[in-house]
Amino acid sequence: MGIYLDNSATTRQYDQVTEKMMEMMREDFGNPSSLHQMGLNAEKALKKARKQLEDAMSVYNHDIYFTSGGTEGDNTAIFGVCNSKKRLGKKIITSKVEHPAVLEAFKKMEKQGFEATYIDVDSGGFVDVEQIREAVCDDTILISIMHVNNESGTIQPIDKIATLKKNATFHTDAVQSFGKLPVPKDEADIITVSGHKIHGPKGIGAIAIKKNLNISPFIVGGGQEKHFRSGTENMPACVGFGLAAEMSCKNLDSRMTEVKKVRDYLQAGLKREIKDVKINTPEESCPSILNVSFLGTRGEVILHTLEQSDIFVSTGSACSSNKGGGSHVLKAMGLSQREIDGAIRFSFSEFNTIDEMDYVIEKTKKAVGRFRKMGSFR
């Protein structure tokens, strides 16, 4: 399979998750809304998956609803809050480094008459908390700031932001932090997570909404998920997600300590062996992400050169990597075009080892050296 270092894009599914999903498809394939025994068995499995997710997130003051993934969760939070609170105000706040699922949703709300503020970040990717303080007013109805950035690994100061919200609902996209860090359960009113970032299946996610907070549903129909998210539940994916959440959050601190050792080893090796390297990930960051600029190169060329050695990395967010124009995250952090052009994101999981990193360092050094020799390194 090679050395997979694109875990922020998606992860290898746990074998146990795959086996459990196959069991649901072959044997317990009933509809949880059906009244017969197979339906009741499915409903029981759905309740267990929801409980596993609740325990993994420790969100006992929230209600959990299954979605199709992080994008639907973010859209549901933003559209739902805006539709339910529009009589109270039309001011909404986010940052310039959010995932497209948030930024595009905000643009849509602007077209519907909402006034959006996009908060700046510093060179480490951290949001300007004072700018948020100045932007929040009595008719601000929504603040949406991600917990961990998917490109830089920056951990946003969710605790500080939560103290500034006044009457606003506070949503955080925790897709990249869930399974790596404790989710901000006490600070956030709404939290969105995704299955395939934590060794679970694709096409499944969840939104956790603080109890007694009423927002408009995004999808209507048969009334599933307590009338909040209609449509027959994707039972194999729900059950797989629940198990993946339980497994990925077990012994979280010790597992992430090992992941950080692997990341730090690679970072030190790249800086030692390759000249003109810029580390874009701040020192205090999520242990699963390392963003590096190899000056005088093109990230896409380095990516494909490493691919020939069975090393799989990314130049940025997989959700928008085919749009071109460079990373909006790195631009917001103030990187030069030269630094953005040479950026590579390495993202790690518990399956990566230090021994693998020696090979990655060797092949990256060769790839960068080859490009610089052939290109116009300045």
Q: How does pLDDT run along the chain (378 residues), one tens digit per residue?
A: 799 999 999 999 999 999 999 999 999 898 888 899 989 999 999 999 999 999 999 999 999 999 999 999 999 999 999 999 999 999 999 999 999 999 999 999 999 999 999 999 999 999 999 999 999 999 999 999 999 999 999 999 999 999 999 999 999 999 999 999 999 999 999 999 999 999 999 999 999 999 999 998 888 898 888 888 889 899 999 999 999 999 999 999 999 999 999 999 999 999 999 999 999 999 999 999 999 999 999 999 999 999 999 999 999 755 555 555 689 999 999 999 999 999 999 999 999 999 999 999 999 999 999 999 886 544
Residues 207 and 265 in one domain: no
Residues 216 and 231 in one domain: yes
Side chain identity at residue 273, one-letter code: E
pLDDT tens for each residue of 95-116: 999 999 999 999 999 999 999 9
Residue that finishes a domain, picked among 231, 248, 265: 248
Beta-sheet pairing, 190-194 with 169-173: parallel
Rounded Cα–Cα distance for residues 82 and 303 (Å): 40
pLDDT tens for each residue of 188-212: 999 999 999 999 999 999 999 999 9
Residues 257 and 238 in one domain: no
Count, in order, helices (H) and strands (E) of the chain: 12, 12
319 is catalytic: yes
CATH number at residue 290: 3.90.1150.10
Residues 242 and 315 in one domain: no
Nearest of 214, 216, 213, 181 to residue 197 by alpha carbon: 181
DSSP label at residue 127: B
Residue 351 in tokens: 């399956």
Backbone phi, psi, residue 284, to 5°: -95, 100
For residue 378, the model assigns a pLDDT of 46
CATH number at residue 206: 3.40.640.10
Residues 122 and 29 in one domain: yes
* Count of structural domains within the chain: 2
Is residue 164 a contact partner of residue 158, using CB atoms and an 8 Å limit?
Answer: no
For residue 32, the model assigns a pLDDT of 87
Is residue 152 a contact partner of residue 282, using CB atoms and an 8 Å limit?
Answer: yes
Residue 324 belongs to what domain range? Answer: 3-10+252-374
Residues 234 and 342 in one domain: no
For residue 377, the model assigns a pLDDT of 46
Helix, coil or strand: residue 116: strand
Is residue 313 a contact partner of residue 289, using CB atoms and an 8 Å limit?
Answer: no
Catalytic residue among 82, 238, 249, 319: 319
Helix, coil or strand: residue 10: coil
pTM of the model: 0.94
Residue that finishes a domain, picked among 196, 227, 248: 248
Nearest of 264, 288, 271 to residue 368 by alpha carbon: 271
Residues 85 and 150 in one domain: yes
Residues 307 and 176 in one domain: no
Rounded Cα–Cα distance for residues 344 and 151 (Å): 9
Residue that finishes a domain, picked among 248, 266, 291: 248
Residues 235 and 336 in one domain: no
265: number of Cβ within 10 Å: 18
Q: Which residue has the tokens 């499995």?
A: 45
Residue 137 in tokens: 């007013």
Residues 222 and 261 in one domain: no
Rounded Cα–Cα distance for residues 237 and 331 (Å): 36
Residues 241 and 258 in one domain: no
101: number of Cβ within 10 Å: 22
For residue 325, the model assigns a pLDDT of 63
Exposure string for 211-230, b = 16+ CB within 10 A, e = fewer: eeeebebbeeeeebbeebbe
Q: Side by side, which strands form the sheet with 169-173?
A: 62-67, 205-210, 190-194, 169-173, 140-144, 91-95, 115-119
For residue 318, the model assigns a pLDDT of 57
For residue 11, the model assigns a pLDDT of 98
Residues 293 and 359 in one domain: yes
